[in-house]
Amino acid sequence: MSMIVPPPPAADRDQEARRVLNRHKLFATGLLLGMAGLTVGSYWLPHGYAAEVLQAAAKAGFVGGIADWFAVTALFRHPLGIPIPHTAIIPAQKARLGQALGRFVGNHVFTEAEVRRTLAQLDLAGIFARFLSDSAATRPAAQAMASILPRLLATIEDGRARRTLARLIPRLAGGPGTGRIVARALRTLIEGGRHQEVFGFILGKAKLILAEREDSMRRAIEERVREQGGRLVGWAMGASVARRVLLQVNGEMDKMEASGSDLRAAFDEWIRREIARIEEDPARAAEIGRAVRGAMTHATIQAWVWDVWSRLRVAMEADAAKPNGHTVAFLEGALANFGAMLEADPGTRARLQRAAESIAASLLPAAQTRVSGFIAEVVAGWDAATITEKLELRIGRDLQYVRINGTLVGFLAGGVVYVLLRAAFGPVAF
């Protein structure tokens, strides 16, 4: 297995760049001095055509080298320390340079096309899938998410959030789709036969209440008979009528308990008909939604909901604090399932990639502005010596090639121009 060698520190990189720059400077300066020496030496040669060509070429090479030396030096400092106008350009214009560099990076490097291309090359779905398939990684992630849960729950307890939810929940619960949700829930109860259990539960509660209040109901019936038939009739028949009424009611309720009773069948038929009506009639579905919304806005219902929420919150916070609690286990399983889905489902991978690109594209304008401003601030904050040194270390070697090429091209061009002028006009001064 090959070992990854870390990059050298910035100070070492600058030192190496400085050595390379000095080496190229020495070469370019030596070439310039060589042209100067060749120019002077050409006057010591015997007079003739070759000496004249060499003299013209050496002069042109020396002049070209001097001109390029001046141009390169003027970028970073005053040539020979003389404050000639329009020299030391970079130190004098570092603020404008930083702004221009920032705009260039923001508008031409940090573009939407480049960001999308980079994200596509990263294969975010593959990175997430590999990360989530490692239990050693998902466990700490799940614990970190669980530790955030109490703070998220606390935000709901904020006064403004609570008032917003108090207005929002009834609207959501009483929206146009509430009726269809209620219908689906009732149909699920019917298909499982649970509606009859609910009916039996209500019936049992009604019988219990009736048994507990039988004496008061008997007295109420006797009073009613006395009011309608007079004292004599009430005295003679009141107790008998009350007893018969209660016996009849209890008898009918006993019949209802049987699984095949007519009332149970009628209840089953009624609830199925009501479900079909809710599913098929938008007006009825809207009516159910309004009823649910009205119930959810009632002060008693809201107090009950917040009481349930408070109890649930305490339980969730206590469980989230446990390293091996149900919350951590649930989050860990959810992360693992998501990783498996990314690994197996190309559609999910594509949706994740599109979502990442969409988020990056929406954040890009602000990011471009921040990057441009950041670069401009950093460059403007550098002192003149720092920015001169940093830029010269990065591009100075290439600029020394400009000096070298200018010297050599001047030498060749000077020789060619002299030969052409001599051929056209005879001996000429050059």
pLDDT for 199-221, tens place per residue?
A: 555 556 555 666 565 566 656 65
Beta-strand runs (E) in 236-363: none
pLDDT at 289 over 50: yes
- Say if CB 360 and CB 119 are below 8 A apart: yes
Q: What percent helix, strand, coil does the chain show, rounded to 5?
A: 85, 0, 15
**pLDDT of amino acid 35:** 94
The CA distance from 159 to 391, in Å, is 55
Nearest to 116, CA basis, from 374, 373, 359, 343: 359
Give the residue carrying structure tokens 């050496």: 58
The CA distance from 293 to 296, in Å, is 5
Q: What is the mean pLDDT of residues 325-336?
A: 80
**pLDDT of amino acid 141:** 82
Q: What is the mean pLDDT of residues 339-362?
A: 80
User: How far, rounded to the nearest angstrom, does the alpha carbon of residue 15 sit from its chain's CA centroid?
Assistant: 40
State the pLDDT confidence band at 232, using cuts at 50, 70 and 90: very low
**pLDDT of amino acid 196:** 56
Structure-block tokens of residue 312: 């649930």
Alpha-carbon separation of residue 196 from 42, 115, 250, 365 (angstroms):
120, 60, 19, 61
pLDDT at 99 over 70: yes
Q: What's the sign of the alpha-carbon dihedral 391, 392, 397, 400?
A: positive
Rg (CA), the chain: 46
Q: What is the mean pLDDT of residues 318-338?
A: 80
**pLDDT of amino acid 321:** 80
Q: What is the mean pLDDT of residues 133-156?
A: 77
The CA distance from 151 to 379, in Å, is 40
pLDDT at 69 over 80: yes
**pLDDT of amino acid 314:** 78
- The larger pLDDT score, comparing residue 152 to residue 401, is at 401
3-state secondary structure of 16: helix
pLDDT at 24 over 60: yes
Question: Cβ atoms within 10 A of the Cβ of 396, count?
Answer: 21
Domain segments of the chain as ranges: 16-92+382-425, 160-330
The CA distance from 99 to 105, in Å, is 10
Which amino acid is it at 94?
A: K
**pLDDT of amino acid 303:** 74
Q: What's the sign of the alpha-carbon dihedral 327, 352, 153, 168?
A: negative
Which amino acid is it at 191?
A: E
Least confident of 194-198, 283-287, 356-360: 194-198
3-state secondary structure of 2: coil
State the pLDDT confidence band at 29, using cuts at 50, 70 and 90: very high
Structure-block tokens of residue 249: 């009611």
- Say if CB 35 and CB 58 are below 8 A apart: yes
pLDDT at 407 over 90: yes
The CB-side HSE value for 88 (13 A sphere, CA atoms) comes to 13
- The larger pLDDT score, comparing residue 59 to residue 246, is at 59
- Say if CB 408 and CB 65 are below 8 A apart: no
pLDDT at 65 over 80: yes
3-state secondary structure of 201: helix
Structure-block tokens of residue 203: 């019936």
pLDDT at 58 over 80: yes
Task: Out of 35-44, 203-212, 324-333, 340-349, give the one with best mean pLDDT.
Answer: 35-44
- The larger pLDDT score, comparing residue 401 to residue 81, is at 401
- Say if CB 108 and CB 101 are below 8 A apart: no
Looking at residue 426, the DSSP 8-state letter turns out to be S
**pLDDT of amino acid 227:** 57
- Say if CB 218 and CB 246 are below 8 A apart: yes
Q: From the DSSP assignment, how many helices (H) and strands (E) are in the chain?
A: 17, 0
**pLDDT of amino acid 401:** 92
The CA distance from 237 to 221, in Å, is 11
**pLDDT of amino acid 101:** 78
3-state secondary structure of 239: helix
How does the average pLDDT of the chain come out, rounded?
75
Structure-block tokens of residue 388: 């001169």
**pLDDT of amino acid 284:** 72
- The larger pLDDT score, comparing residue 56 to residue 252, is at 56
DSSP string computed for 165-209? HHHHHHHHHTSTTHHHHHHHHHHHHHHTTHHHHHHHHHHHHHHHH
pLDDT at 390 over 60: yes
The CA distance from 357 to 112, in Å, is 9
Tell if the pTM clears 0.85, that is, is over it: no
- The larger pLDDT score, comparing residue 402 to residue 349, is at 402
**pLDDT of amino acid 5:** 45
- The larger pLDDT score, comparing residue 425 to residue 154, is at 425
Q: What is the mean pLDDT of residues 27-54?
A: 90
Give the residue carrying structure tokens 């920015």: 387
pLDDT at 352 over 50: yes
Nearest to 332, CA basis, from 70, 42, 132, 81: 132
End-to-end Cα distance, the chain = 66
Which amino acid is it at 380?
A: A
- The larger pLDDT score, comparing residue 32 to residue 314, is at 32
pLDDT at 316 over 70: yes
Give the residue carrying structure tokens 């399932």: 337
